[in-house]
Amino acid sequence: MIADPRWHRFATPEQLADRFAGDMADFLKIAISQRGQALLAVSGGTTPAAFFRALSTHDLPWTDVTVVPVDERFVPTTSERSNEKLIRQNLLVNKAAAARFTPLYHDVADISDAAKLADRAVTDLPLPFDVVVLGMGGDGHTASFFPDSPELTGAIDPAASHHVLAVTAPSADEPRLTLTLPVLLSAGLIALHIEGAEKHSLLETVLAEPHPREKPIGAVLLHAAKPLDIYWAPKKGE
């Protein structure tokens, strides 16, 4: 049974970015006040850049915050496809430049070695995450849980023993490293940031009938112990 999500709807992506950044900054401040530090996992892709830039300007004890990618393309951090590059250029700037960062990408030949290194680094963090920010693709994937991935079952296994897995998928442009479902679900707050009418409609469909293997966002919705916060705005011109 899915816990009814909390929808936060905005007229424009700019208004969403400003309010979303303020809400996440407030939650990170609470986490820091309660446990002296905060763990923030963020997704990549094309949607979050404005939110990252807005969050980077907020005044909070960034030296007590560790930022981790929810998932990563197995590409050098100089690549335009790199989520680490996106995060470093848009979030780890301004006041947030003082934050710590734990990468998933490691410059090794074999992605399974990178996954092992990333899994060890994430395991060594003071888990659970305080905030996880997810995106969603038009096929209903989130993180790197792709419907056509042979590793999907392992990645969305609620009892997965690893925190990071290497995954591949014909629909993904490159091999990926992804946090697994349990480590995402253990977060204090899970926010889903999507924009556009198409994604809104897709999510409404999944909320009505979750198919974790067809629409992997459904695995998050089904197994989340608390409601997700969904931040949505129409795309420009919609």
Residues of the shown chain interacting with ligand 6PG in the complex, contacts defined by CB under 6 A:
43-47, 70-71, 83, 135-137, 142-143
Query: Closest separation between CB of residue 142 and ligand 6PG, Å?
Result: 5
Report the helix count and the strand count for the chain, using DSSP H and E: 8, 10
Closest to ligand 6PG by CB, 44 or 212: 44
Query: Closest separation between CB of residue 131 and ligand 6PG, Å?
Result: 15
Closest to ligand 6PG by CB, 60 or 111: 111
Query: Closest separation between CB of residue 150 and ligand 6PG, Å?
Result: 18
Q: Which amino acid is at 85?
A: K
Closest to ligand 6PG by CB, 60 or 190: 190
Q: Distance (Å, rounded) from C-alpha 151 to C-alpha 135?
A: 19
Q: Distance (Å, rounded) from C-alpha 69 to C-alpha 30?
A: 21
Q: Quote the radius of gyration of the chain (alpha carbons, Å).
A: 16
Closest to ligand 6PG by CB, 73 or 162: 73
Closest to ligand 6PG by CB, 135 or 175: 135
Closest residue to ligand 6PG, judged by C-beta, is: 135
Strand order, beta sheet including 71-73:
71-73, 176-179, 164-167
Closest to ligand 6PG by CB, 137 or 218: 137
**Which residue, among 99, 96, 81, 55, has the nearest Cα to 176 in the 3D structure?**
81
Q: DSSP of 181-233, one letter per residue?
A: HHHHHTSSEEEEEEESHHHHHHHHHHHHS--TTTSTHHHHHHH-SSPPEEEEE
Query: Closest separation between CB of residue 171 and ligand 6PG, Å?
Result: 10
**Which residue, among 40, 19, 22, has the nearest Cα to 31 in the 3D structure?**
40
Query: Closest separation between CB of residue 194 and ligand 6PG, Å?
Result: 8
Query: Closest separation between CB of residue 222 and ligand 6PG, Å?
Result: 18
Tokens standing for 213? 């293997």
- By DSSP bridging, strand 71-73 and strand 176-179 are antiparallel
